[in-house]
Amino acid sequence: MNDLKGKVAIITGGASGIGLATVEAFLDKGSKVVLSDYNEELGKQQADRLAEKGEVIFVKADVSKEEEVKALVDKTVETFGTVDVIFNNAGIGSQGETHALSYEDYEKVIKINQDGVFFGAKHALNVMRENGGGVIINCASILGLVGEPTAFAYNAAKGAVVLMTKSLALQYAKDNVRCVGIAPGYVESGMVNKEALGEYYDGLVAKHPIGRLGVADEIAHAVIFAAENTFLTGLTIPVDGGYTAQ
């Protein structure tokens, strides 16, 4: 097992939801954490709030821009000396009919959800290979494993993340770098809850055989498992209440 105490972890999209829960989970393990997010105000607030739990800093980054992801990794190395784990979590959702989808909206989903994984992996790899290994964890989705009629761009991006994870695992195993994907089901959040979804909420719950939606801590727990288990690489783990078992 990989002891995470003292290890350095970057979490993108870390200011809320799954990302924030994962920041807290790594801090609970004694890791040094770089909380990164596009939302600077919220990101700083969360890092300040969590400072009593351990070593954590905030670094703003738009993962769709390679120069900002490189700066994120550089700042991590400058502050903590290395990168042991990166969780490429930052992403956006998208719903709508494909015939009405503009290229600009399609491109935005691809750039954040897919290109962001590429940029995070690329620049973390440069550090990990030099320092003897590491773990790349990519946030895919159940919609990277199964189709959704109104999620063409999101399906495309998250499906790519699943195969990018396999490719990275095969390519860098020789460098002691593992790569694992996490595919969450629908998770309770500020935008996904009974109040926000109204009549659609019960239908969404019904798609999960376990009878409820997930919570962010359950996804964070899977990220920790992926980081700790040293024989795990090249697969994407559904954490979905049985959604993709059907």
Question: Tell me, what's the pLDDT at 73?
Answer: 98
Query: Token digits for 127?
Result: 């550090």
Element holding 237 (H helix, E strand): strand 236-239
Q: How many CB atoms lie within 10 A of CB 235?
A: 15
What's the rounded mean pLDDT across residues 145-161? 97
Catalytic residues: 154
Question: Tell me, what's the pLDDT at 94?
Answer: 87
Confidence of residue 245 (pLDDT cuts 50, 70, 90): very high
Check if the beta carbon of residue 180 is closer than 8 Å to that of residue 233.
Answer: yes
Q: How far apart are CA 234 and CA 181, in angstroms?
A: 8
Q: How many CB atoms lie within 10 A of CB 98?
A: 12
Confidence of residue 74 (pLDDT cuts 50, 70, 90): very high
Which pLDDT tens digit goes with each residue over 156-206?
999 999 999 999 999 999 999 999 999 999 999 887 899 988 999 999 999
Q: How far apart are CA 238 and CA 222, in angstroms?
A: 9
DSSP string, 217-233: HHHHHHHHHHHH-TT--
Q: How far apart are CA 4 and CA 31, in angstroms?
A: 6
Check if the beta carbon of residue 184 is closer than 8 Å to that of residue 141.
Answer: yes
Which pLDDT tens digit goes with each residue over 45-54?
999 999 999 9
What's the rounded mean pLDDT across residues 100-104? 96
Q: Which of 69, 87, 65, 90 is nearest to 138 (CA)?
A: 87
Q: How far apart are CA 72 and CA 48, in angstroms?
A: 18
Q: Which of 53, 34, 14, 84 is nearest to 22 (CA)?
A: 14
Q: Which of 157, 138, 108, 187 is nearest to 11 (CA)?
A: 138
